[in-house]
Structure 1
Amino acid sequence: MSNWHFKILYDGECPFCLREVRWLQRRDRLGYLAFEDVSSPSFDPSPFGVTREELLGVIHGVFPDGRLARKVEVFRQAYRTVGLGWLIAPTGWPVLRWVFDGLYSLFARYRVRLGRLFGRSCVSGSCGVSDRRRDRA
């Protein structure tokens, strides 16, 4: 039986995502976080009521009762779960919440390009985000 308090649904093909997941895993000494790679071929998004494309577009998290969190709220919950909520608390303040969610949306949209600028490419060479853009063309 798992005792996780919050599960992060992350893109395992994204180097930024992997770096954050590994950082959180090291700090999760009590095992209260769970992680699920939505880019895995065996991943089934149906229990979460969203599509794989939605999950690859922005980070999602899920509470044990099934409620979903999106964008920066995922990080607020994850950091709170590992006892570091104070680090990210300002992102939830009423005036700043929409600013940080907007900035995260921009980051999520351009994370593949940003990764290339920083010398990081997707693990398999193509993130889910870039695959979606290629499909639209």
Structure 2
Amino acid sequence: MSAPVKVWYDGACPLCLREIALMRRLDRRGRIAFIDVAQGSDPSCPVDRAQLLARFHAEEDGVIHDGAAAFAAMWRAIPLLRPLGLAARSPAVLKLLEALYIRFLRLRPRLQRFFA
């Protein structure tokens, strides 16, 4: 049986590696399949590799999410973070999280250099 959530991440990003390491520790039930796309494309993913590297993506119940919605999908698979993931199903909460994610993307290059 495959994991119910699939997460594609940039394994060449030191910041991403730290976050994924934390998520792996929290995913005690093994409900998330983490796929590093820095090394190459994933043939099972319908999203272009460049898009996967530019923006966070996850698949939940056959639906591909990106940005804040992808984080929410990942959080729903982790019991400790599930309430936050469920809250993100609210359009208002998801809109706020997406705005924060877009701001983070602007800072990401500087943060990557800091964590390198």
TM-score range, shorter chain: 0.7 to 0.9
**How far is 1:30 from its partner?**
1.4
**How far is 1:88 from its partner?**
4.8
The one-letter code of the counterpart of 1:105 is: I
**How far is 1:98 from its partner?**
1.6
TM-aligned CA distance change 1:64 to 1:95, over 3 Å: closer
Pick aligned residue for 1:86 from 83, 87, 93: 83
Per-residue CA deviation, residues 77-111 of structure 1 (Å, 9 max, x unaligned), is 11111112114544443223222212212312431
**How far is 1:23 from its partner?**
0.7
SS in 1 for 2:115: coil
In structure 2, how many angstroms separate the alpha carbons of the residues matched to 1:96 and 1:62? 20
Q: Is there any run of 5+ residues in structure 2 with no aligned partner, and where?
A: none
Pick aligned residue for 1:104 from 81, 101, 112: 101
Larger Rg: 1
Q: Is there any run of 5+ residues in structure 1 with no aligned partner, and where?
A: 122-137
Within 5 Å, give how 1:1-137 maps onto structure 2.
2-40=1-39, 43-63=40-60, 65=62, 67-83=63-79, 84-116=81-113, 119-121=114-116
TM-score after normalising by structure 1 = 0.72
- Number of equivalent positions: 115
Higher relative contact order (CA 8 A, sep 6+): 1
For the 8 Å contact 2:15–2:111, the answer to whether it is kept is no
In structure 2, how many angstroms separate the alpha carbons of the residues matched to 1:8 and 1:56? 12
TM-score after normalising by structure 2 = 0.83
For the 8 Å contact 1:3–1:31, the answer to whether it is kept is no
TM-aligned CA distance change 1:44 to 1:81, over 3 Å: same
TM-aligned CA distance change 1:87 to 1:95, over 3 Å: closer
In structure 1, how many angstroms separate the alpha carbons of the residues matched to 2:47 and 2:2? 24
**How much is the aligned-residue C-alpha RMSD, in angstroms?**
2.0
In structure 2, how many angstroms separate the alpha carbons of the residues matched to 1:39 and 1:3? 22
